[in-house]
Structure 1
């Protein structure tokens, strides 16, 4: 690990603590200010945990802790389990009025929503990078034979124009999310030979989902889309001088189709500083331009790799690891390697997963090696070597930006939380025989504080700062939504008890509240243990991934960490 990588890791970890701490602190600040307004007794208000400094002012002890995980406020009069509330010094206090408890409980989630909306304004202004442009139709490039989609009749070349009867205008990841959250079968309306055709199927777990998602047993589609990659050339760049205009779509590099950003960048890197032929699409017509990539300046040696010029990938109907594509003007092409060759061994060492080839090539650097492949049922051995490939650019970006309004971000979090909870409950009900409906979402897809930290860390470390800011918005909104659930020990439970007291003009018996609180505390602790175990498995896979599995952040269903009550709270919830 280089010094720059160490600094990035430390900075990303610090961002996690600050982000989660801010979300929890804003929640507790809401409780504190509401309690002040309603004249309730406050024992302490703390920023962080394990105090290293504290001072009492007007009866309230203000604390600063050395653990920056948020904060808490101690409000004994809001605790519904005590018939006679007591201050920290043992002084008996009058029980707070129901309306005061309701206002104090509501204030925590309300401040999360307000702070989330405030930060969401920044996301709205700057814009969120998208994985793909937004599309009104998705062209199917490949469909895995034997998959539910293939058996239902989906074929390469089909253009998907509706999902479950509704037109869409979304990125590929958002389109996939609609499938993941679907209940029961999925209906795809496609255009084939100019005529509409409906393809209906029930999603199933896809062990070949990209990266670590395969281990999550998630219902990733078994078909590959043709993603339009829209170029935006920088002023004065080689792309602009070659005549590339904003809105042009990249189709191929030197005749090799380009499906995603990784293939686009790989093609430029392989070409180095030699001219390349780009096939572009403008106004529905394809045309070619020739550009000469330039090295990307100010990048350290850790961004360079030894590559042979092949792209790897599995074949749906055959075991093993195959060559998915051979890059033009590469050592692999010169050695006679072809698409669909199955990799057998490198220097006599069996290639059981891509990591064997990748790691061996990096160790050998430019030294020649023997690569054994299987072609048409016969094994052949080819000698080749790798080249040191450094990142190159033509001065054109393909990252699309979206500018969701703060309220769109809020509604999106509510929608995701609702669909996640609905999907998990439907699956649970199906397993108990209570419903015929099906869902691919599982409790193992939920995530807690550890999972939140992993997503935040990966978003800042491997993606962009704006992604980290966006996840703060989601966490703030999710924390509010989770705490408003009408369950004992949550803010929603205090609100519910308060309204019951107002309606019936007397509080619930203390023994009932204590019993309900104990039951739900036990259930929530059990949930915490469960989701932390699931998060721990994800963390272990990211540290020591199984052979062939890429390290990748895992999206999770909304979930998990409860924020117990306004009298002393120190946890968070997240989608």
Structure 2
């Protein structure tokens, strides 16, 4: 934990420090007066004077600032002690203002060069993803239903599921439902009117394989699907899907997703194709040419939803021949016909699936045993693991007995011994868990994008975000419809949100993830500061450019009004964004610590045996 705090304090502050250092270097080069350069903010601790500049170290070691009185818009700039200075000429002022973002970019390229050499975490290439589930009704929180409510019954039938899960079982044309929730130990009946899901009404179904969004094919599976979905600026989203051999286009106006702050993220659950982690020699899989890293797309023309479903479907064929469609190196290949009689298992086929650790929960048996994110599970007590469900079943059946788990980490096989699951009570039932979130694919690989590619990615993402933020205004000025424009100012992150995201990056992806995020921060800081608004560097450059062209300074009163207004708006914006950052953190903490009180009823029904929350979390719904 300590190293994460030090990492954030140093690099987050350094992004600001290097920006101000750029201003300092350029100002000295251009002969502008520099009063003070501070490392940190707040009260002065100590300092010295050199080159006519007071260099100080301040109490709060986050970033820094540089005092440049000749960037002041007045006709007669003065120092803090009242000394009058000549107005700065336009070109030196523009160069000094530009140097801050420039140094951010230079720092970003230097760090991106290091990451180019050592590698960064990237999504596994996937040119399609398969739809696993589509809820017929929208999981909205309305009619009195709250996100923190613990649902105990639906239409009088006891349930053990969250609202998002229940919406998968409620038909699109369902009438009003009676939802019973537990609030402070009291059972409350709510009358809830379901709303149909536009995705379902448009014809999207489980098994559909998505290959493009808004006509744009993607290369990075569900991650790119989510991004293209969110950044759709038209009123409709258009999905190109394959249903068996049929290619079709599904269009609909998406509904805001309350689980994602009403962003345009979809409600359907999609996963990247099942990825092979290994192929055993001398087996049917090896005979037809299956290879490590192959992505399994379809069995006899039907999409493969999971490794376990694949094995069940092959067993249901009872020895009948079948063919597999796989993706390999950006090509889709139909393999020769296979036939498997008798017992069907991953071992009899010769397949090893990529069951990968996404998250290790702190202070659990898994964390104490030494599991790490991106570990690939191979076997438990010598038995090969085919998918995450199998691992979950083994753990739950262990009754706390020691397990030896074989994993592959950084290309090397190792055994994590004496992993003892601990009982956890879920919905009144004791379940053994070790504290892992798993997915049935390889979530990340180490890639080596060039520094320019990393820069282009940040520029593209920042540009698309700004475009959607200003879409309502530009559309109104141009007389065009605004479209969805679901990315709003409140979805942005200020310092608090950025620090929280950086913390999660370090937690989940280590130094590689943290340094990649610092590259994003420093490039974004440069781009945002170049916007042509007063108080930003781009505003100083704009005013210096106008003065250089017109050969006269802008009226002082106009400049002061503009600077004061935009300074107020900037402060208000930061307060607004920080408020939503804080509310997100508060909401997560409230949901995390929420403990439903027991509900006392007159005649308690005996709930049917139900599956509890799985230890292996599915790949995140886009």
Q: Same fold (TM over 0.5)?
A: yes
The equivalent residue for 1:408 is: 453
SS at the partner of 1:464? helix
Is residue 303 of structure 1 aligned with residue 365 of structure 2?
A: yes
Which of the residues 111, 131, 134 maps onto 1:140? Answer: 131
Which of the residues 500, 507, 518 maps onto 1:454? Answer: 500
Contact 1:427 1:442 in 2 (8 A): no
Q: Structure 2 regions of 5+ residues with no counterpart?
A: 137-195, 280-288, 298-303, 309-323, 339-345, 368-387, 400-420, 596-612, 618-622
Can you list the C-alpha shifts for 1:191-250, whole angstroms capped at 9, x where unaligned?
A: 23423211011222223xxxxxx152222222222323545679xxxxxxxx99641458
The equivalent residue for 2:574 is: 528
SS at the partner of 1:440? coil
Alpha-carbon distance change, 531 to 195 in structure 1, aligned in 2, over 3 angstroms: same
Which of the residues 114, 117, 132 maps onto 1:125? Answer: 117
Contact 1:43 1:87 in 2 (8 A): yes
The equivalent residue for 1:45 is: 37
The equivalent residue for 2:18 is: 26
Task: Output the CA distance in 1 between the equivalents of 2:353 and 2:75.
Answer: 78
SS at the partner of 2:364? helix
Give 1:505 shift: 0.6
Can you list the C-alpha shifts for 1:25-80, whole angstroms capped at 9, x where unaligned?
A: 11011101101111111111111123211111131111112311101111111112
Cα root mean square deviation, aligned: 4.2
Is residue 115 of structure 1 aligned with residue 113 of structure 2?
A: no
Is residue 175 of structure 1 aligned with residue 191 of structure 2?
A: no
Is residue 58 of structure 1 aligned with residue 51 of structure 2?
A: yes
Is residue 217 of structure 1 aligned with residue 268 of structure 2?
A: no
Task: Output the CA distance in 1 between the equivalents of 2:426 and 2:567.
Answer: 61
Alpha-carbon distance change, 135 to 99 in structure 1, aligned in 2, over 3 angstroms: same
Task: Output the CA distance in 2 between the equivalents of 1:404 and 1:486.
Answer: 31
Contact 1:203 1:440 in 2 (8 A): no
Alpha-carbon distance change, 117 to 332 in structure 1, aligned in 2, over 3 angstroms: closer
Map 1:412-431; keep pairs closer than 5 Å: 412-427=457-472
SS at the partner of 2:121? strand
Alpha-carbon distance change, 328 to 61 in structure 1, aligned in 2, over 3 angstroms: closer
The equivalent residue for 1:474 is: 520
The equivalent residue for 1:557 is: none
The equivalent residue for 2:257 is: 206
SS at the partner of 2:76? coil
Contact 1:189 1:196 in 2 (8 A): yes
Give 1:419 shift: 1.5
Contact 1:366 1:385 in 2 (8 A): yes
SS at the partner of 2:591? coil
Contact 1:430 1:438 in 2 (8 A): no
Is residue 192 of structure 1 aligned with residue 254 of structure 2?
A: no
Which of the residues 9, 22, 30 maps onto 1:17? Answer: 9
Alpha-carbon distance change, 248 to 163 in structure 1, aligned in 2, over 3 angstroms: closer
Task: Output the CA distance in 1 between the equivalents of 2:426 and 2:437.
Answer: 29
Task: Output the CA distance in 2 between the equivalents of 1:45 and 1:541.
Answer: 40
Aligned length: 446
Is residue 483 of structure 1 aligned with residue 529 of structure 2?
A: yes
Which of the residues 82, 87, 90 maps onto 2:79? Answer: 87
Task: Output the CA distance in 2 between the equivalents of 1:78 and 1:458.
Answer: 39
The equivalent residue for 1:274 is: none
Can you list the C-alpha shifts for 1:137-161, whole angstroms capped at 9, x where unaligned?
A: 2222222223222211222222222
SS at the partner of 1:545? helix
Map 1:494-573; keep pairs closer than 5 Å: 494-545=540-591, 547=594
Alpha-carbon distance change, 152 to 429 in structure 1, aligned in 2, over 3 angstroms: farther
Task: Output the CA distance in 2 between the equivalents of 1:167 and 1:258.
Answer: 21
Give 1:434 shift: 6.8
Contact 1:303 1:391 in 2 (8 A): no
Task: Output the CA distance in 1 between the equivalents of 2:88 and 2:352.
Answer: 73
Give 1:300 shift: 9.1
The equivalent residue for 1:166 is: 216
Is residue 155 of structure 1 aligned with residue 225 of structure 2?
A: no
Can you list the C-alpha shifts for 1:391-427, whole angstroms capped at 9, x where unaligned?
A: 799xx97632332221122122122122212223335
Task: Output the CA distance in 1 between the equivalents of 2:71 and 2:426.
Answer: 73
The equivalent residue for 2:139 is: none
Alpha-carbon distance change, 125 to 544 in structure 1, aligned in 2, over 3 angstroms: farther
